[in-house]
Amino acid sequence: MEEQSAGDLPRSGFILADYAVFAAMLLVSMAIGLFQALKKKPQGASADDFFTGGRSMPAVPVGLSLCASFMSAVQVLGVPAEAFRYGFKFLYMCLGQSINSVLTAYLFLPVFYRLGITSTNQYLSMRFGRGMQLLGSVQFLVATLLYTGIVIYAPALILNQATGLNMWVSLFSTGIICTVYTTLGGMKAVVWTDVFQILVMFSGFVAIFIRGTVLVGGPARVLEIANNGSRINFNDFNFDPRQRYTFWSLSVGGALVWLSMYGVNQAQVQRYISCRTEREAQWALFVNQVGLCLIVSSAATCGIVMFAFYISCDPLKSGRVSSPDLYMPFFVLDIFKSQPGFPGLFLACAYSGTLSTASTSINAMAAVTMEDLLQPHLVHMSQKQLILLSKGLSFLYGVGCITVAALSSFLDWGVLQGSFTVMGVVSGPLLGVFILGMFVPAANTLGAFAGIFVGFCVSLWLAVGSTLHPPSERTMGVLPTYSNECESTNVTLNYTSIQEQHSISTPLHPDNPWGLYNFYSVSYLYFGAMATSSVVLIGLLVSYATGPTKRTQIKGLLWWDRNKKQVEILSEFHT
């Protein structure tokens, strides 16, 4: 096994069978979207049905769709690499996700579901006025457009570097197909294609796990090598916040990161409010949790198998890949060099993640634009015209995402870090505003604006500071790898093209054990928690200083009002 991995090169790119498997995945996704678009619609279908699936979706497909939209190609490629470098403790991420699912299901979902709203920013309008709604809408649109463009571009660049797959062909084919089925089919097309794509992702990981384990010498051998290499490290309870992954950063910091993405993010909320009942919406979140744990566990396990396979020859140290992001594509080409079609399954796996994330974002951006920005000007339009406008907005945002993806090719900094930075700066502060609105009766409009301003400043400062002054590998807790049995002569010559292309990972700086540099070394999983805490703290102080909101002015908008019927809440709000 070691001889094969150290001495033989993987094949240089994809062959016809691989492209056939990839094309089949894209065609099935398109077919599902077209089926939902052409299926006979019930009489009196509205624009709200386009965005919420008529609020009649079953729990299981919605739950799988919620799961698929998280697993973009960034995570499909990134989770195995993180497990390779930091160990199996990455599985504690599942604990953080579980905490998030419980909090979302019992704290945030009841409020949104019973208000019967389509956009989460409608709640901000009810609680803090039209200005906060517009602020929330604009920041969501800008951040989601940038994030989705980068999510489409990142895997195209990575797979181009690793496999020779033409970047522009993959970028435009993915973007166009996703835009078409989302525009035509609406929320139902998004949900059902996500179900298919999550199955493709899982199949890809299972195939990689089985093949890699067989080549290493069986599960027992994989565990033995991983244990000897310090990768079975579930006992890491270190309180040092600078360590990238510990029990605390993954369970506590991770829970708040996921809460900002699931509890109040439009792209996720829009899916679970499309369920038939509130109970089914909660079940959808729990189905999503099971799916997330399966996919994250599969991806992390593939990372451990990859470590065992390359125990004597780390591809990064030997110069066979230029960044950790390329571990997984390189590994797939290496182990499946004599099995045509399986690398194509991995490509389908990675792009399934991209399609699900992009389709969700496009539909969510169109919903926010309709409900928050255009609604006051559309009172005289018929439902048919509103549906056409909704589809037009989906198409425009799809084109916008493809444009951002194309423009991303001109960036010199890491696209993966860019995607997390864009969403991290936005989601944490917004979570703080929703917490103020739902759980702090005294919070007023001025307090909310002051809080979100400070929260944005904190998250932006942390993001920029950590980008300009990234911590060293030792500070982050990167585990050792080995390259003592590499035959580097042939490898470097054949892989110069990878080295020449710009790396998509930010270079690491030496240790900075003092002052602000130490602060910038804090794990990125804590950034959202710090921003959310800042919003809540400042919002409370300013609200009490300027006159707290009276309880009678916000009936029906607090969490403990959730036992009231939806009709009662809405009538109280309008009166």
pLDDT of 281-329, one tens digit each?
899 899 989 988 998 899 999 999 999 999 998 998 888 888 787 888 8
Closest CA to 443 of 529, 542, 569, 531: 542
Note the pLDDT of residue 413: 45
pLDDT tens across 386-439, in order?
878 888 888 888 888 888 888 776 654 445 555 666 666 778 899 999 999 999
Give yes or no for residue 148 having a pLDDT over 50.
yes
Closest CA to 241 of 471, 461, 534: 471
Note the pLDDT of residue 300: 94
Average pLDDT, integer, range 377-393: 78
> From CA 535, how far away is CA 386, in angstroms rounded?
36
Which of 342-351, 432-441, 523-532 has the highest average model confidence (pLDDT)? 432-441
CB contact at 8 A, 73 and 354? yes
Q: What is the DSSP string of 506-519?
A: PPPPPP--SHHHHH
Better-predicted residue by pLDDT, 524 or 441: 441
Give yes or no for residue 248 having a pLDDT over 80.
yes
Give yes or no for residue 513 having a pLDDT over 70.
no
Average pLDDT, integer, range 39-58: 56
Give yes or no for residue 534 having a pLDDT over 90.
yes
Give the pair of three-digit tokens for residue 163: 């496999």
Strand partners, 275: 57
pLDDT tens across 54-102, in order?
556 777 888 887 787 766 777 788 889 989 999 999 999 999 999 999 9
Note the pLDDT of residue 411: 57
Note the pLDDT of residue 11: 57
Give the pair of three-digit tokens for residue 157: 């660049």
Half-sphere exposure of residue 411, counting CA atoms within 13 Å on the CB side? 22
Look up residue 43 and give its DSSP letter.
T
Average pLDDT, integer, range 39-63: 61
> From CA 442, how far away is CA 418, in angstroms rounded?
36
CB contact at 8 A, 241 and 522? yes
Better-predicted residue by pLDDT, 420 or 16: 16
CA dihedral (238, 241, 246, 247) in degrees, to 10, reads 80
Average pLDDT, integer, range 366-383: 78
Note the pLDDT of residue 515: 66
What lies within 8 Å, CB to CB, of 503 at 6+ separation is: 322, 323, 414
Q: What is the pTM of this model?
A: 0.82
Give yes or no for residue 500 having a pLDDT over 70.
no
CB contact at 8 A, 99 and 285? no
Note the pLDDT of residue 246: 93
Average pLDDT, integer, range 534-549: 94
Q: What percent of the chain has pLDDT over 70?
A: 81
> From CA 7, how far away is CA 486, in angstroms rounded?
7
Tokens 């994809």, residue located: 14
Query: In which band, very low, low, confident or very high, does the pLDDT at 163 lie, cut at 50, 70 and 90?
Result: low
The C-alpha R_g of the chain, in whole angstroms, comes to: 24
Average pLDDT, integer, range 457-486: 84
Note the pLDDT of residue 390: 81
Q: What percent of the chain has pLDDT over 90?
A: 23
Report which secondary-structure segment, H or E, holds 257.
helix 254-262
Mean pLDDT of the chain, nearest integer: 80
Angle, to 10 degrees, between the axis of helix 16-38 and the axis of helix 167-216? 120
Give yes or no for residue 522 having a pLDDT over 70.
yes
Cite the beta strand spans of 441-522 per DSSP E. Answer: none
Give yes or no for residue 508 having a pLDDT over 60.
no
Query: In which band, very low, low, confident or very high, does the pLDDT at 349 lie, cut at 50, 70 and 90?
Result: confident
Note the pLDDT of residue 186: 67
